[in-house]
Structure 1
Amino acid sequence: MGETPAGSAKSGRLKQAILLIILAGLIFLGGRWAGLWGGADDGQLKLYGNVEIREVQLGFRVGGRISKLYVDEGDRVVPGQVLAELDTRPLDDRLAGAAARLDAASAAAQRDANGSRPQEVGEARAAVAAAEARLIEARRQFERRQALVDKGFISKADVQTAEAGVAAAEASLSAARNSLSLAEEGVRAEDRAASEASRNAAFAERRSVQTDLSDARIIAAEQGQVLTRARELGAIVQPGQTVLTVALTQPVRVRAYVAEPDLPKIRPGMAVTVSVDGSDKRWPARIGYIAPVAEFTPKTVQTEQLRADLVYRLRLTVDDPRGELRQGQPVTVSIPADGKR
């Protein structure tokens, strides 16, 4: 017995209903998977951004020839690690010369500070005594000849010679007394100040060379990874010329953007999560900074809003001790609906 037309129509409608139900289920599941509705992300605010690129160009503050390179591209570095060194022989020679000049200037300053030696003062006093004795003798000779000239025994020329001898003895005594005063007083204050200034200049010169010696090494200041090695062993570099480029890997920072209507939903210090395409892993993060000034959405950031929308930039610090996130990598920031995480 064949199927009736009514039965065929009923069977066709049933098949259509089943197909529609299957299609609706697929659409629903696809929507949930895409996060358009339902699922674990209900009520969450999603922001989009990138892992910040943090690089530092490292070089020597002084010029010279590279004698040692301890790292290569891809090597990880830690704070305090020596990465490269210059040939320090020219600086060692400069340091030796500066140290010698400092020793000489220090000795001169100490000599001026100590003043005259006791032997020098004693010698000056002896010179005064001798000058006084010569003056006494010169006056005695003058008085004797003055008496003789009155009696006509000698000429007036002899008296004048004796008188000149007295004047010379007096001048000699005055000079000896001045020398004694200088010996007792010591070096002038201006000379002591000049000696001290020379010593300070020599000390500054030595310290400058010591600074240059310390700057003849490249030392890592933060944890990172070597990106490029721009110079090789034996290369002559100028001061400030880039030798190594290091990416700073810790802390990991994300720059994201939030639209003005969603601004009240976030605050500094809020705990959030960060995820990337192609992975189910989520990294804990915390909002550290929200820009006080609005800007247009950068073209490098993919958002669900128009690029002409005004947004606020925020920076997050991500807990990524294993360094799984790469600098410049696009990320999605999930903000909890209740804002309590």
Structure 2
Amino acid sequence: MRRVVVLFIALVVVLGTLLGLRLVRDRRAAEGPPGGSGVVEGTAVDVRSRLNARVLALHVKEGARVEKGALLATLDCTEPEALLAEAEARLAMARAQAHAADAAALASLRASEAATAQASGTQAQLESLAAQQGLASRQAARMEQMGEAVAVATRDQARAQADALSQQLAASQHTSTAASRQARAAAEQERASREQASAATQAVQATEATVRRARLSVAECELHAPLAGTVETLVLEVGELAMPGAVLARLVDTRNSRATFYLPNAELAAVRPGEPAIVRADAYPDRSFQARVVTVATVAEFTPRNVQTRSDRDRLVYPVEVRIEDPDGLLLPGMPVDITLSPRAGAVAERRP
């Protein structure tokens, strides 16, 4: 019986000591800077295929570290290359047609200018003949009015000259009319040629767009790393068919990692975006990583239906995300870490009323 009492007393002492240590540790944690535990998350990017093609080669393996722009895989590019060759041939033909249309438009312009000049010349000639014919008619009329004072031969000659000029004037009028019509026709032809040249230029631009699209398809035959990181997964193997939009590989950037922890409502005033933090991992007990607060959630992770008591408010926690400075990529995704806010941030929060 005495032994049982001694054992009971020893058990009570041990439990009391452990409880006291726990209370002391909790008090120190409460008095220390705010923080919490989280899990490292890397920036994951899925590399997807835009083509319906087979995988010809994989140039990396899972777990390999690659730099931005590194070649990850090569797809079968037979069909896109054929489409590109066809588009380039069409572009060459369209450019030749555009050059021919430009030359035809230039020739039509020169012909229109010549026809216009000819019409202007015939019009000037018509005006000159009209003036001469008028003068000759008036001269013949005066001679006829003079009667016997002028020889009959002279009167006949003046009348004949006036009649000849009248005939020439009529012919010149027909010539001028024809020249004007030719000038209008040449102008219409010149406008049509210009429109054809413009259409040919637009056809060249459309074909150039087709060539650019075909070149983009050919460029998609080689998949490159969009960022520096680690190859986490290779979904397809050599010989498998990659469908448009299908994931071929997943990259994780461990140098630009982040973690999320939760702060209770009472400690929320101790953190603001942009403030520094310290991250420690069990895998590196002698090393700490600098971090910086990125976002502080405005909505609590857990919200009771009615927040009426202090205990209800204490159960409110807010997610806080930090960006970790890890240039060596030591912190891997999924690794648990402890996050402590800068003592300066806690001091600022304590000074607030």
- What is the TM-score normalised by the length of structure 1? 0.66
SS in 2 for 1:52: strand
Partner residue in 1 for 2:25: 35
Residue identity over aligned pairs, in percent, reads 27
- Larger displacement relative to structure 2 (63-72 or 277-286): 277-286
Distance 1:185 1:218 in 2: 51
2:233 to 203, 208, 228: 228
Partner residue in 1 for 2:300: 294
Partner residue in 2 for 1:204: 209
Distance 2:249 2:283 in 1: 32
Structure 1 residues 278 and 56: CA distance shift in structure 2, 3 A: closer
1:195 and 2:185 correspond: no
Partner residue in 2 for 1:310: 316
Distance 1:231 1:309 in 2: 46
SS in 2 for 1:280: strand
Preserved contact between residue 264 and residue 314 of structure 2 (Cα < 8 Å): no
Which has the larger share of helix?
Answer: 2
SS in 2 for 1:50: strand
Give the AA of the match of 1:311: V
Distance 2:189 2:244 in 1: 53
Distance 2:314 2:74 in 1: 50
Q: CA deviation at 1:187?
A: 4.1
Q: What runs of 5+ residues in structure 1 fail to find an aligned partner? A: 1-14, 129-169, 298-304
Structure 1 residues 312 and 37: CA distance shift in structure 2, 3 A: closer
2:339 to 328, 333, 339: 333
Preserved contact between residue 116 and residue 183 of structure 1 (Cα < 8 Å): no
SS in 2 for 1:243: strand
Partner residue in 2 for 1:89: 78
Partner residue in 2 for 1:61: 50
SS in 1 for 2:239: coil
Preserved contact between residue 54 and residue 327 of structure 1 (Cα < 8 Å): no
RMSD across aligned C-alpha pairs, in angstroms?
4.3
Structure 1 residues 44 and 308: CA distance shift in structure 2, 3 A: closer
Distance 2:19 2:316 in 1: 33
Preserved contact between residue 55 and residue 246 of structure 1 (Cα < 8 Å): yes
Give the AA of the match of 1:216: C
1:324 and 2:330 correspond: yes
1:271 and 2:276 correspond: yes
Give the AA of the match of 2:25: G
Partner residue in 1 for 2:253: 248
Q: CA deviation at 1:181?
A: 2.2
Q: What runs of 5+ residues in structure 2 fail to find an aligned partner? A: 1-5, 119-174, 304-310, 348-353
Give the AA of the match of 2:38: G
SS in 1 for 2:215: helix
Preserved contact between residue 260 and residue 322 of structure 2 (Cα < 8 Å): yes
1:71 and 2:77 correspond: no
Distance 1:31 1:308 in 2: 20
Structure 1 residues 206 and 265: CA distance shift in structure 2, 3 A: same
Distance 2:333 2:25 in 1: 26
Q: CA deviation at 1:212?
A: 0.9
Preserved contact between residue 43 and residue 257 of structure 2 (Cα < 8 Å): no
Partner residue in 1 for 2:91: 102
Deviation per CA, 1:219-255: give whole Å up to 9, x if none.
1111211122111122221111111122222211011
